Amino acid sequence: MTAPSTKEGVKDVEVEKEDQMRINLFARKNARLLDIREKITEKEKELQNLEDASDELMMGDSDIPVPYPHIMIPRIVCGAMIYSLPTEVAP
């Protein structure tokens, strides 16, 4: 079957409904794949930032106060908890 020609030599092509459905499915899945890859990249950056922050806290000296919302408060890390103590109470 010959497709009718249009402007500048480009031809219109008839696409079967089944083929169009496959094209649409591919486009949706490809868009989802790209979104997931982008989220993975964001999560990898976030993980790296958290690991860097964890390393800084582990290397930090407990006598040095850690700035927290514009206030200098020493912190003590105990397991998964972080306690902020006044300087007089901190070890």
3-state secondary structure 6-52: CHHHCECCCCCHHHHHHHHHHHHHHHHHHHHHHHHHHHHHHHHHHHH
Amino acid at 54: S
| CA 19 to mean position of chain CA atoms | 34
Indicate if the pLDDT at residue 21 is higher than 50: yes
Band of pLDDT at residue 34, cut at 50, 70 and 90: very high
Query: Domain extents for the chain?
Result: 15-59, 62-91
Compute the distance between CA of residue 71 and CA of residue 51 in angstroms, rounded to an integer.
Answer: 24
Indicate if the pLDDT at residue 35 is higher than 80: yes
Confidence at residue 90, expressed as pLDDT on a 0 to 100 scale: 46
Compute the distance between CA of residue 60 and CA of residue 65 in angstroms, rounded to an integer.
Answer: 9
Band of pLDDT at residue 59, cut at 50, 70 and 90: confident
Residues paired with residue 5 on neighbouring β-strands, in sequence order:
11
Confidence at residue 56, expressed as pLDDT on a 0 to 100 scale: 80
| Cα dist from 61 to 18, 42, 74, 82, whole Å | 66, 30, 10, 14
Determine the average pLDDT of the residues in 25-44: 97
Indicate if the pLDDT at residue 86 is higher than 70: no
